A and B are shown apart, each in its own frame.
Chain A
């Protein structure tokens, strides 16, 4: 899609064409309350979905399976037999997308915190060939205080350890082109994956863009994601990576 930038208000036809080429990777762990709505919404936009259930102990997998079944040929469901963490789950998703020949991949959290309208703006620099990786930047001022501070801390830590300064190192909404997806060499199994991706962008000299995104803070989403405990774990992991 050269030239004209793609906007949400572009003709539905064009939008549909582009969205068909976007593969959305959805890592899910115990999201039975919300994953149904998230998947239905994304399917309704004609996107292709790669859903990875990370060994959920609730009905996440069953719910996802029923919805994938209702959308034949557009959804691919994977299931880790045991919980292995966000990092491992994203890796499975990226590998699955690459095997399907995907050129544009977007990671999208299953907890309903992302606005599906942001998928296109985040993919746009990839579609236009201006970037290899796009990070969706959340508005930190919208965040509850504790979250804001821990995310700022994670940015600083990512900067210190990996030498890469980004506006939102822990964002769950990102887009990759095929080249970037292949280049990513990450080992983190847990939430540390987010910082590791930033490191890889720098090390592999991938072209990165940052696009502002909306975050929907429900009570539900707030209870998940990067909290202080996870932050400390990521920090320990980074120190080890440096010492390795």
Chain B
């Protein structure tokens, strides 16, 4: 069975994804949970690239006509989920930054008062 171009592209993206994910993990820039999650995504991508017929099974299972549609819909849902996660993550980081900024401010009450005033007035 000859592979189509999109299958090669999917395969390459999957492999690059796995390598990159592992590199991030080794540099401690990714948690173990995220490593698993991302590798599942990449492996699914590779498997579906090699065996695109497998999507038909999911299509029949979910009642969504064509295999490709299932992938697109799942992909979209996955993207939305990730955006949601990132959004919440940023919000948490913002809150933490605010907390730190407030804490620093409170600890440094009247801190520079005795410093020489620079060219005031």
Contact = CB atoms under 8 A, between A and B. Distances in A.
Contacts, number: 59
Contacts of A52: 105
B115 to A, nearest CB: 8
Interface in B77-121: 94-95, 97-98, 101-102, 104-106, 108-113, 117-118, 120-121
Interface string A29-65: 0000000000000000000000010010000001101
Given A80-B102, A81-B104, A65 B94 contact: no
A138 interface: no
Interface string A53-92: 0010000001101101100000111111110110010011
By size class, the interface of chain B is 10 to 19
Most buried by A among B105, B108, B113, B117: B105
Contacts of B110: 68, 75-77
Given A82-B101, A187-B95, A77 B109 contact: yes
Contact of A66 (B97, B108, B109, B117): B117
B10 to A, nearest CB: 36
A78 B117 contact: no
A186 to B, nearest CB: 12
Contact of A189 (B94, B108, B118, B121): B94
A68 B95 contact: no
B102 A88 contact: yes
Contact of B106 (A65, A96, A189): A96
Contacts of B104: 80-81
By size class, the interface of chain A is 20 to 34
A69 B113 contact: yes
Nearest to B113: A69
A79 B108 CA distance: 8
A193 to B, nearest CB: 12
A189 B99 CA distance: 10
A128 interface: no
B105 A65 contact: no
A77 B104 CA distance: 12
Most buried by B among A75, A79, A91: A79
Contacts of B97: 82, 84
A142 B34 CA distance: 56
A148 B79 CA distance: 41
B105 A92 contact: yes
Contacts of B106: 78, 92, 95-96, 99
B101 A55 contact: yes
B81 to A, nearest CB: 16
Nearest to A59: B120
9 contacts: A66-B117, A68-B110, A82-B101, A84-B98, A85-B98, A88-B98, A187-B95, A189-B94, A189-B95
